[in-house]
Structure 1
Amino acid sequence: MTSPSGAGVEVRNVHKSFRVDGQSVTVLDDVSLTIGMGEFVSVIGPSGCGKSTLLKVVAGLLDADSGSVTIDGESVSSASADKKIGLVPQSPALLPWKTVLENVQLPLNVNRRSNGGRSIGDAETLLGRFGLGAATKKYPGQLSGGMQQRAAIARAFVFDPAIMLMDEPFSALDEMNRDLQRIALLDFWQSNRKAVMFVTHSVPEAIMLSDRIVVMAAHPGRIAEIIDVDLPRPRNEDVYATDAFRDLEKIVRDALRAQTERAHV
């Protein structure tokens, strides 16, 4: 389960369980995964397969029971202190009383002493790259859901992190808006390659964005299959209409269907 480039994320033999109704339930079972620097990897699988739990372990929001995670060769705690991890949750989590620009600048104003010597992106430039240059003085409530999520993504990039973790960032959007946002993300990522771990339920989204797709099995959560996405880059919406895209869609859907059926046996 290795990638062709230098390791950005190294997950090794991770186990994670929770107490449910007084009993231990294994959520992640011996999960190992490498995401190379500059590689976009999507994680997909049946509900309850541990996709978001795995992302939270990589982000340092949850501790694994056993196993290890390193980010750019460092422990998660060290990488987090060095602000090498960018996180985009399902909800934009923007502060409603601050403007869009102030929200994106917010990480720069937290623990200012630790920012010395760091690579810091210009918030206004980032917002412009995400098509929000005219919205810098607006408040989150004045933006559409898609625009709010783009602002959240821009905020995550402000420290130029080594890796980006995204937990279904477009799941609350309708399909048309979702497609617009994924293309905007793709355009930005293709010009500013980061190691990305992207959790999604959408097969077309995973194919369009990714270099590899990790299909997870449930009960307990583990990696069932890794599918290479060999579509050429850069990509745009024209890729959807190609035979290669449709062939990959069938392969991923078949793999996902097999795991979903096993999860309900």
Structure 2
Amino acid sequence: MSASVHALADRHPGIAGVEVANITKSFGPDDARVTVLNGVSLTIRKGEFVSLIGPSGCGKSTLLKVVAGLSSADGGTVTINGKSVKEAARRKAIGLVPQSPALLPWRTILDNVSLPIRINPEANAGRTLRDPREILTSFGLGKAMDRYPAQLSGGMQQRAAIARAFVFDPDILLMDEPFSALDEMNRDQQRMGLLDFWQSNQKSVLFVTHSVPEAIMLSDRIVLMAAHPGRVAEIIDVDLPRPRNEAMYASDAFRDLEGYVRSALRKVMEVAHV
């Protein structure tokens, strides 16, 4: 176990933010069903950043949808702070950031981020809600909140989508390759922005990515998945100190870990193609 995970366990002894236990999921007709997830189990502690990485078709996004309550599992259970996914969703304890920002083009950035609060206000009674203006400012969008999505770059739009997920101060943030559509320079900028924000908020995060450097820079642990069927091949501790910044990329420890993760990823991909 990494030093960072030890610290998290010390702060929250015996408490898991998310427990995924023996999840199975398949698609297709009975005579031709394809198993996408096969006995997947993992834990995300409160305040822990966990990334899912693996070859295409290993079920990363499917698992994220099961945890979000957008897809039902055939078997197994998911609990969030000891509650069912349905109950956690009702309490708006789950924040979801999809691959596409999904911003309404006819609404300003502030209106887009405020929209979850305005929908069904009675259900929000008694909830801790965060000020959309404050969140946008913390994400570096204070001067852009009155603009429309088309007036912002792709990276700024994605940042707004992440800010929107924080309005309800969720217990768990689920992120499905949120930077995949960005060029490498913009992607790295948004990645570091997310890292800075997370390091000051310490939310539990489950993050899907295809980028090994991204997974290492952001995570406390990396869950390496194998395909056909989708399953956990290895869970890798990221023993790098926090807080982290761009200088970490050049460190020997980062390069050594990147080499290890890439080697492990090659192995699961070779098995998938045998």
TM-score range, shorter chain: over 0.9
The answer to whether the aligner puts 1:204 opposite 2:213 as a matched pair is yes
Name which of 203, 226, 229 aligns with 1:217.
Answer: 226
Other-structure match for 2:65: 56
Alignment of 1:103-182 (within 5 A): 103-182=112-191
CA RMSD of aligned residues (A): 1.2
2:265 to 249, 256, 259: 256
Determine if the alignment matches structure 1 residue 184 to structure 2 residue 202. no
The amino acid of 1:128's aligned partner reads T
1:26-52 residue CA offsets vs partner (Å, 9 max, x unmatched):
000000110000000000000000000
Could you tell me the TM-score, scaled by structure 1's length? 0.98
Distance of aligned partners of 1:102 and 1:22 in 2 relative to their CA distance in 1, 3 Å threshold: farther
Shift of 1:110: 1.1
The residue that corresponds to 2:96 in the other structure is 87
| Whole-Å separation in 2 of the counterparts to 1:76 and 1:110 | 21
**2:252 aligns to what?**
243
What is the CA–CA distance in structure 1 between the aligned matches of 2:266 and 2:92, rounded to whole Å?
38
Q: Percent of counterpart pairs with the same letter?
A: 72
Say yes or no: does 1:43 pair with 2:61.
no
Distance 1:75 1:185 in 2: 28
Q: Which residue pairs with 1:7 in the alignment?
A: 16
Query: Could you tell me how far apart the structure 1 residues matched to 2:61 and 2:31 are?
Result: 22
Q: Which runs of 5+ in 1 are unaligned?
A: none
For residues 42-83 of structure 1, what are the alpha-carbon distances to aligned partners after superposition, in whole Å with 9 as ceiling and x for unaligned? 000000000000000000000000100001110000000000
Give the aligned partner of residue 87 of structure 2: 78
Deviation at 1:239, TM superposition (A): 0.4
The letter for the 2-side match of 1:201 is H
Distance 1:17 1:121, change over 3 A: same
Match of 2:78 in 1: 69
- The unaligned stretches of length 5 or more in structure 2 are none
* SS of 2:35 mapped into structure 1: strand
Deviation at 1:14, TM superposition (A): 0.6
Shift of 1:111: 1.1
Work out the CA distance in 1 between the residues paired with 2:102 and 2:204. Answer: 23
